[in-house]
Amino acid sequence: MSRVVFPARVLPYLLLSPQIAITAVFFYWPASQALWQSVLREDPFGLKTTFVGLANFRSVLADPNYLQSARVTVVFSVATALLAMAAALWLASAAERVVRGRGLYRTLLIWPYAVAPAVAGMLWLFMFNPAMGTFAYMLRRAGYNWDPLLDPGQAMTMVVVAAAWKQISYNFLFFVAAMQSIPRSLIEAAAIDGAGSTKRFWTIVLPLIAPTTFFLLVVNTVYAFFDTFGIIHAVTGGGPARATETLVYKVYNDGFVHLSLGSSAAQSVILMAIVILLTAIQFRFVERRVHYG
Amino acid sequence: MASITLSDVRKVYPGGVEAVRGVSLDIADGEMVVLVGPSGCGKSTLLRMIAGLETISAGTVAIGGRVVNELEPAARDIAMVFQNYALYPHMSVRQNLAYGLKNRGTPAAEIARRIDAAAAILEIAPFLDRRPGQLSGGQRQRVAMGRAIVREPAAFLFDEPLSNLDAKLRVQMRVEIRRLQRSLATTSVYVTHDQLEAMTLADRLVVLNGGRIEQVGTPIELYEKPATSFVAAFIGSPAMNLLPAVRNGEAVTLPGGGKVAAALGPEVATLGIRPEDLVPGRRDDAAFTAELTVAAVELVGAESYVHGTTPEGGELVFRVAGRSAIAPGEGMMVSASAEALHRFGTEGRRLG
């Protein structure tokens, strides 16, 4: 990579400024606000604000509801990331094998990504709502006691599937691109070397797309942690009995519904720390096993 | 060890493009056959059909007397060396060599023995534990060969394996492939577009053009008696001079320049003369003479190629040993004896 030297000193900053402005307004400013809020306590009418140090953090971490929400988040995130990636990988390898209409399949599989989270949530809600959902009706007709409004496990399954469904398109795109970048001759060499298609997938294809898989793991984890608010809000609203209340959802609930701003801010700071830590761990330990061509 | 028999093999792609139009060929056990031709002549397609990487539209391919049309590549007992080596980048050289054997359930001790043997032959023992990415082009080529050798297959298939190497390495690897193939005596099919590679490697040469075989024979047969004007032009460097001939009553004239003294026969349409058969100066017994203005002189070291134009606008190339004193712009005569003339008919077929 050759190093580009700009003649003027101002130009590089000028070129970067739009991105910096966006990051500052939508990330640094709210993040610093959250940091500041997390050490304050405010009365519900916003009339009095007191500095309380780390008291918010202490009360949040001692709250059994918060720990329950953390457990929910772990289950939800792991399940969503795994399901979204596994399904996308399966679809991508299936799309590789399609000869006719390959472009059509790919286009159709990308569509869900263009659906807004809340709309996606409503879609799944309408399909599986016990009162009016077609699939809920079919499930009950098949003798399965389907009621996500009462059953925490079923509610969790529903939000996981809805959240994963939304992310499959994105993952699919990356997996398809990664698989296409594997030279055909490698697959042919493996075929001549006596590896059947399943064996080829595990010993050749999967190791070679590992960089993409790793990237998607990071992206999907962050997605499951942060970007699934809309889906949970639309599908279950965190219920039943907080069974699907993830950390992000709890931040919203405590802050904007219960107006406990200090606690909510403390929670979002913790959440930020968790995601930073997770990403760091992924880069530190998983990336080592990844072979970059 | 096995023979390979192709019987009227055809390849038609779904779009209707006919890549291979009925090729029949017998490759004897232990023989090295080189398929050569310009790009798009169907040589790679033919090789990939033998390997099982392309379906066979019609005809049969038999390896060791067994028809393999419906067999998977793995079941055909062949090994292939690819142009881009196709080494598995995430595996060490040792794992690359072992992969095909492991998949076939070869015992670990036997795998180790074969890898050691192949590594010794190919001198790749020092980098057995490296990844392909850490090797040079030549070393990768050796590993690719090693992967084929350890399998001890019935046949080796080479798909332009030297195209990605620089010129010097290519010559070296060419000699090595030749030596290796001789010592292992494994039936081999080698595809290349490089006629020099083809000439030096082949026991028998197959020239393909437009999906059909133009000629099969030993390199020297093809060089000395090309069956068609296409083969004549393709084999040999610089290429044979091909002059269009027009019959004029009993005599034959060359519109591009030059005169023929010998009778060429009634059907001749093209007259071919190899650059080394054209000699400067006029000779009384010459069957062909031409007047030239020298356009360029290429000095390639041990010899020089002189490019000249006739007054009629035709172009001729001839070869001079060593450094030539001939300078561009000079006018001169060249001549050739009767034995040196190749005559081709209107269809491009050789006459006599």
Residue B264's pLDDT band, with cuts at 50, 70 and 90, is confident
What's the mean pLDDT in B209-220? Answer: 93
Residue B200 has a pLDDT of 92
Sequence-distant (≥ 6) Cβ neighbours of residue A64 within 8 angstroms = none
Look at residue B203 in the predicted model and tell me its pLDDT.
94
Say which range, A219-228, A257-266, A284-293, B272-281, has the weakest mean pLDDT. Answer: A284-293
Domain spans of chain B, in order of start: 4-234, 241-344
| Better-scored residue on pLDDT, A19 or A237 | A19
Cβ A124 vs Cβ A161: under 8 Å: yes
Q: Which of B72, B80, B86 sits opposite A183 (nearest CB)?
A: B86
Q: Is the pLDDT higher at A244 or at B20?
A: B20
Question: Does ipTM top 0.95?
Answer: no
pLDDT of residue A292: 61
Distance from CA of A215 to the nearest CA of B (A): 18
**Over residues A142-146, mean pLDDT:** 80
Q: Tell me if A195 and B88 make a contact (CB, 8 A cut-off).
A: no
* Contact status of B103 with chain A (Cβ, < 8 Å): yes
Residue A192: closest CA among chain B residues belongs to which residue? B74
pLDDT of residue A142: 82
HEC letters along chain B:
CCCEEEEEEEEECCCCCEEEEEEEEEECCCCEEEEECCCCCCHHHHHHHHHCCCCCCEEEEEECCEECCCCCHHHHCEEEECCCCCCCCCCCHHHHHHHHHHHCCCCHHHHHHHHHHHHHHHCCHHHCCCCHHHCCHHHHHHHHHHHHHHCCCCEEEEECCCCCCCHHHHHHHHHHHHHHHHHHCCEEEEEECCHHHHHHHCCEEEEEECCEEEEEECHHHHHHCCCEHHHHHHCCCCCCEEEECEEECCEEECCCCCEECCCCCCCCCEEEECHHHCEECCCCCCCEEEEEEEEEEEECCCEEEEEEECCCCCEEEEEEECCCCCCCCCEEEEEECHHHCEEECCCCEECC
- Using the Cβ of A207 and the Cβ atoms of chain B, whether some distance falls under 8 Å is answered with yes
**Hey, are the CB atoms on A188 and B80 less than 8 Å from each other?**
yes
Give the β-pairing of B155-159 and B78-81.
parallel
Residue A291 pLDDT exceeds 70: no
For residue B230, name the pLDDT band (cuts at 50, 70, 90).
Answer: very high
According to the model, what pLDDT value does residue A60 have?
Answer: 80
Digit-coded pLDDT (tens) for A59-82: 888 888 888 888 888 899 999 999
pLDDT over 70 (residue A1): no
Q: What is the distance in angstroms between the Cα of A20 and the nearest Cα belonging to chain B?
A: 38
Per-residue pLDDT at A293: 52
Q: Which of A181, A182, A185, A193 to mutate to test the interface with B (most CBs of B within 10 A)?
A: A193
Q: How far is A184 from chain B (nearest CA, A)?
A: 9
Residues of A in contact with B87 (CB under 8 A): 189
Query: Which one of A182, A192, A200 would you mutate to disrupt binding with B, by most B Cβ within 10 Å of its Cβ?
Result: A192
Confidence of residue B58 (pLDDT cuts 50, 70, 90): very high
Q: Does residue B309 surpass a pLDDT of 70?
A: yes
Q: What is the mean pLDDT of residues A230-250?
A: 82
Residue A41 lies in a domain: no
Q: What is chain B's alpha carbon radius of gyration, rounded to the nearest angstrom?
A: 24
- A50: helix, strand or coil: strand
**Higher-confidence position of B3 and A151:** B3
Split at pLDDT 50, 70, 90, the class of B300 is confident
Q: Does A290 touch chain B (CB under 8 A)?
A: no
Does the pLDDT of residue B101 top 70, yes or no? Answer: yes
Contacts with A204 from chain B: Cβ below 8 Å: 88
Interchain proximity B103–A186, CB inside 8 Å: no
Return the number of CB contacts < 8 Å for A and B: 61
Per the CB < 8 A criterion, the answer to whether A262 and A251 are in contact is: no
CA distance linking residue B345 with residue B352, whole number of Å: 10
Residue B240 pLDDT > 90: yes
Confidence at residue A255, expressed as pLDDT on a 0 to 100 scale? 79
| Cross-chain Cβ contact A189/B80 below 8 Å | yes
Predicted confidence at residue A27, as pLDDT, reads 87
Min CA distance, A293 vs chain B (Å)? 6
In tens, the pLDDT along A24-68 reads: 999 899 888 888 888 887 776 777 777 877 878 888 888 888 888
Residue of A nearest to B79 (CA): A192
Give the confidence band of B232 by pLDDT, cuts at 50, 70, 90: very high
B72–A191 C-beta distance less than 8 A: yes
Confidence class of residue B61 from pLDDT cuts 50, 70 and 90? Answer: very high
Residues of A in contact with B104 (CB under 8 A): 194
- pLDDT at position A288: 65
pLDDT score for A283: 79
What pLDDT score was predicted for residue B218?
94
Enumerate the residues of chain B whose CB falls inside 8 A of the CB of residue A212. Answer: none
Q: How do residues B18-51 score in pLDDT, each as one tens digit?
A: 999 999 999 999 999 999 999 889 999 999 999 9
* The pLDDT value given to residue B1: 66
Residue closest to B20 by CA, chosen among B70, B58, B76, B63: B58
Report pLDDT for B114.
Answer: 93
SS3 A247: helix
CATH, residue A125: 1.10.3720.10
Q: Which residues of A touch B72 (CB under 8 A)?
A: 191
Structural class in CATH, domain B241-344: mainly beta
Which CATH code is given to the segment(s) B4-234? 3.40.50.300
Question: How much is the average pLDDT of A82-102?
Answer: 86
Q: Give the gap in angstroms from C-alpha B82 to the nearest C-alpha of chain A.
A: 7
Residues in B touching A194 (Cβ below 8 Å): 74, 100, 103-104
Segments forming the whole domain that contains residue A136:
62-289
Residue A194 touches partner B, C-beta closer than 8 Å: yes
Q: Which residues in chain B have Cβ-Cβ distances shorter than 8 Å to A189?
A: 80, 82, 86-88, 147
Structural domains of chain A, count: 1
A82, burial (CB in 10 Å: exposed 0-12, middle 13-18, buried 19+): middle
Interface probe for A, chosen from B99, B130, B143, B149 (most Cβ of A below 10 Å), is: B99
| Residue-level pLDDT at B275 | 93
- CA B93 – CA A107 distance, rounded (Å): 39
Edge-to-edge strand list for the sheet holding B241-244: B241-244, B270-273, B342-344
- Tell me the two tokens of residue A256: 């904007």
Contacts of B73 in chain A (CB under 8 A): 188, 191-192
Q: What is the pLDDT of residue A115?
A: 82
In the predicted structure, residue B213 carries a pLDDT above the cut 90: yes
Residues A124/A134, Cβ–Cβ less than 8 Å: no
Q: Is the CB of A186 inside 8 Å of chain B's CB atoms?
A: yes
Average pLDDT, chain A: 84
List CB contacts of B22: < 8 A, sequence separation 6 or more. B8, B9, B10, B59, B212
pLDDT at A8: 75
Q: How close does chain B come to A170, measured CA to CA in Å? A: 26
Total residues belonging to chain B: 352
Residues of chain B found within 8 Å of residue A207, distances taken between Cβ atoms: 90
The average confidence (pLDDT) of chain B is 90
Chain A residues whose CB is inside 8 A of the B90 CB are: 207-208, 210, 291
pLDDT, residue A195, reads: 86
Closest CA–CA distance from residue B99 to any residue of chain A (Å): 7
The per-residue pLDDT for A289 is 64
Can B4-234 and B241-344 be said to share one CATH topology? no
Cα–Cα distance measured from residue B58 to residue B20, given in angstroms and rounded to the nearest whole number: 10
Q: How far is CA B65 from CA B2, B149, B188, B282, in A?
A: 8, 22, 16, 57
User: What residues of chain A lie within 8 A of the CB of B189, using their CB?
Assistant: none
Is B67's pLDDT higher than 80? yes
Among B84, B90, B130, B152, pick the best mutation site for testing chain A contact (most A Cβ within 10 A).
B90
Write out chain B residues lying below 8 Å of A183, CB-based: 84, 86
- Asked if pLDDT for residue B227 goes beyond 90, the answer is yes
Cβ-contact A106, A218 below 8 angstroms: no
A290 has a pLDDT exceeding 70: no
| Digit-coded pLDDT (tens) for B164-192 | 888 888 998 899 899 999 999 999 999 99
